[in-house]
Amino acid sequence: MFFRLLLAFTVIPVLELWVLIEVGRLIGTAPTVGLVILTGFAGAALTKQQGFVTLRRLQFEADQGRVAGDPLVDGVLILVGGLTLLTPGFLTDILGFSLLIPTTRILWREFLRRQLHHWIDTGSVRVSRWR
């Protein structure tokens, strides 16, 4: 757990800063700042659009009387993707957009499904019902 926190709060921001500096060197400061702002607006628009699509899928599944497992997971991934895009930097933008684009979001959802099954199989996570 400590290693993950160290990674999240030190290594990733330092990498982001390094990439921003290098991109700034290549294309200039103003274009780099412009790209960061542009990805923020594009990410917000894509988050809103995909959020509404997922909400409609949730409503459809509920109307059909089915458990909306995939749309619920998609909703969480969209939320995380949108929050990730709020962080200035190109590396987190890549992650954020990969969570917002439906094709790559499916890959993330399947990765999480396999990971959860692995955790359950190895006893790292226990699943029980509430009564």
Q: What is the pLDDT of residues 21-77, one digit of tens each?
A: 999 999 999 999 999 999 999 999 999 999 999 999 999 998 988 888 899 999 999
Q: What is the pLDDT of residues 85-111, one digit of tens each?
A: 988 899 999 999 999 999 999 999 999
Q: What percentage of the chain exceeds 70 in pLDDT?
A: 98
pLDDT, position 128: 73
- Rounded to an integer, the average pLDDT of 116-128 is 82
Spell out the alpha helix ranges (H) of the chain.
2-6, 12-27, 29-63, 69-86, 90-100, 102-122
Q: What percentage of the chain exceeds 90 in pLDDT?
A: 69
Kindly report the CA angle at 82 between 4 and 64, in degrees rounded to 5? 110
